[in-house]
Amino acid sequence: MQTIFKLLIIYFLLSFNLAKADGHSSNENWSFYTGTFDFSDEGKKSTLIGIQHVNTGKDKESFLGILQPVTGLMVTADNAAYIYTGFQIYNEGPLKFTPSFTPGLYSKGDGKDLGHVIEFKTEIQISYEFSSNSEIALSYNHISNASLGDKNPGANSYMFNYIKKF
């Protein structure tokens, strides 16, 4: 499992650098966040940090709104890790309400056993655009395996985000 996470991280970083190297403008947002993983479970809650990439150059119109692809990684102080990719629904304006859905791979490390390696993250983020290329945000997510495993305890987390447009 550790090898899969390392390979995905390398791919994630290379794809960003290759896009920059070919001379195209990036049209990308990067979100850096920290918060509390599984705050509702006193015995297993943990500090988390993460990074998320939004490729705004790949927007798709849908009946839900503007879909944007997202990819990210979060790690807890207990060495649990979640790498994910999916989409968010984007809206315009200085105050944004952004829901997202991102399936991914979870490794429990020394943290909470969520019951399966495949997990699904649903998230709601509220952000404020305080300059033309920066936002601050609060977000809440729930991670669950949708009963793929023998158990499905789930995890609820909240985060503080800084979003930078490049």
Higher confidence at residue 17 or residue 163? 163
Q: How many CB atoms lie within 10 A of CB 5?
A: 17
What pLDDT shows up at residue 139?
A: 98
What pLDDT shows up at residue 35?
A: 97
**Mean per-residue pLDDT, 156-165:** 95
The answer to whether residue 11 scores a pLDDT higher than 60 is no
Banded pLDDT at 64 (limits 50, 70, 90): confident
Banded pLDDT at 22 (limits 50, 70, 90): very low
Pairing of strands 46-55, 28-37: antiparallel
Task: Give the Cα separation of 14 and 9 in Å (integer).
Answer: 9
Higher confidence at residue 22 or residue 112? 112
**Long-range Cβ contacts of 104-108 (<8 Å, 24+ apart):** 105/1, 105/4, 105/5, 105/8, 106/80, 106/81, 106/82, 106/143, 107/1, 107/2, 107/5, 107/80, 107/81, 107/82, 108/80
Which of these, 74, 77, 72, 75, lies nearest to 88 by C-alpha position? 72
The answer to whether residue 7 scores a pLDDT higher than 90 is no
Residue 57: CB partners within 8 Å, gap ≥ 6? 26, 27, 28
What pLDDT shows up at residue 161?
A: 97
Query: For the chain, what are the domain ranges?
Result: 27-165
Which of these, 30, 31, 27, 84, lies nearest to 56 by C-alpha position? 27
The answer to whether residue 18 scores a pLDDT higher than 80 is no
Report which DSSP code applies to 93.
Answer: S
**Mean per-residue pLDDT, 159-165:** 94
pLDDT in tens, 106-160: 999 999 999 999 999 999 999 999 998 899 999 999 999 999 999 999 999 999 9
**Mean per-residue pLDDT, 44-70:** 91
Distance of CA 83 to the CA centre of its chain: 8
Top-level class of domain 27-165? mainly beta
Tokens 């023998």, located at residue: 150
Which of these, 151, 149, 154, lies nearest to 117 by C-alpha position? 149
